[in-house]
Amino acid sequence: MQRVGVHKILCSGPGDISGALTLIDAGEIDPADIVAVMGKTEGNGCVNDFTREYATRAWCHALAPRLDMTADDVEHRIAFVMSGGTEGVLSPHFTVFTRKVTDDTHDGAPRLAIGIAFTRAFLPEELGTTVQVKETAQAVKEAMAEAGIASTADVHFVQVKCPLLTSTKIADALSRGQTPVAHETYESMGASRAASALGVAVATGEIAESAVSNESINADWSLFSGVASASAGIEIDYNVVIVMGMSRASDSPYVIDHGVMDDAIDADSLRACLQRLDIDPGMGRAALAERIVNVFGKAEASPDGKVRGVRHTMLNDSDINSTRHARAAVGAVVASVVGQSAVYVSGGAEHQGPAGGGPFAVVARV
């Protein structure tokens, strides 16, 4: 029987691991049990956001002596997914997922389970292509198996961290006569997220692998996953996959459910998901805080330039990238429903939910 622990920890900056160390020193977190850390860090969430890399390194250096290994080895043992960008009310924080195998018996009701997997490193020219789709799909299946999630219907959230193209990587590909999918770094983030999300959709059976071609990536918005969340980061060369779902092999004190926001202001879908988890959205801030641990979701500026038929300006803004606008908007809508601002809303939802909308999952205490 596995037991998953979930700890949401606030921080004063991307390098502040003090909250986690306090919990470790108090015995509430056993470092050896940590399988994944999902963080929101206060960078721009785009190409030159070094807060993701900095936070990951800070975690690795902090855990290294406690796990008796090097910082580099820690980085390959635990799935670190840092999503940059805390626009608007969003508050930087880390969510630590632990997993322990126990001999406990369990009443049999499904509970939160988690599994992780890594793909091989990608060549620059493979990003944003069907190669990335297939490798990601394979990793999702491995992570499901590790989590003990029997059916794709029990998968509620698949987080992928994927690489992006820097100008160095683009030059490398070109020097070898290869054509990268994008010549701009910011644009490559979207391509990498798109292929990763389609990989999730293939693994969950939401779409057939044969339905995906290089031409449909970031173009055919009818293809999407309702449980995928992909973030691109400059610090990795491979995909990291975290699968969360419900399993009878788990006796965690947590449950998870998911939904899809139709557009950036669709608070109704989130309220409906809370109700499926037996949480009354109107029961007051204190009561909500006791049940809801975190919301994990994706945001994007609707690619047709409109929200419910009315023009938005996010895609024409050359001062603030559209992912930043979308995180600020969706982050505030989510926070207004659940009453807390330390929620995980990540930008760029290509093939993650319908165009302009995005999937989300709620992790709650039973």
The span of 5-13, 113-121, 144-152, 251-259 binding a second copy (CB under 8 A) equals 5-13
What is the rounded distance in angstroms from the CA atom of residue 287 to the CA atom of residue 161?
33
Q: How far is CA 211 from the centre of its chain?
A: 24
Q: From 95, 64, 69, select the one nearest 82 (Cα to Cα).
A: 95
| Coil, helix or strand at residue 258 | strand
Least distance from a second copy to the Cβ atom of residue 295, Å: 13
Given the residues 188, 196, 216, 231, select the one marked as catalytic. Answer: 231
Q: Which of residues 293-332 bind a second copy (CB under 8 A)?
A: 304-305, 307-308, 310-321, 324-326, 328-332
The verdict on whether residue 52 carries a ligand-binding annotation is yes
The verdict on whether residue 348 carries a ligand-binding annotation is no
Q: Give buried/exposed letters for 188-218 (b at 16+ CB in 10 A, else e).
A: bbbbbbbbbbbbbbbbbebbeeeebeeebbb
Per CB under 8 A, does 90 bind a second copy? yes
Q: Which of residues 259-278 bind a second copy (CB under 8 A)?
A: 264-267
The verdict on whether residue 79 carries a ligand-binding annotation is no
Task: Note if 229 is an active site residue.
Answer: no
Q: Which of residues 171-230 bind a second copy (CB under 8 A)?
A: 171, 184-187
- What is the token pair recorded at 46? 């785009």
The verdict on whether residue 159 carries a ligand-binding annotation is no
Which CB, 244 or 338, lies closer to a second copy? 338
CB of 119 within 8 A of CB of 142? Answer: no
Which CB, 123 or 265, lies closer to a second copy? 265
Q: From 30, 292, 242, select the one nearest 136 (Cα to Cα).
A: 242
- What is the token pair recorded at 54? 């900095």
DSSP string, 274-297: HHHTT--TTS-HHHHHHHEEEEEE
Task: Note if 161 is an active site residue.
Answer: yes
**Residues with catalytic roles:** 161, 231
Which residue ranges make up the annotated binding site for substrate? Answer: 52, 83-84, 193, 231-232, 327, 346-347
Which residue ranges make up the annotated binding site? Answer: 52, 83-84, 193, 231-232, 300, 327, 346-347, 349, 352-354, 357
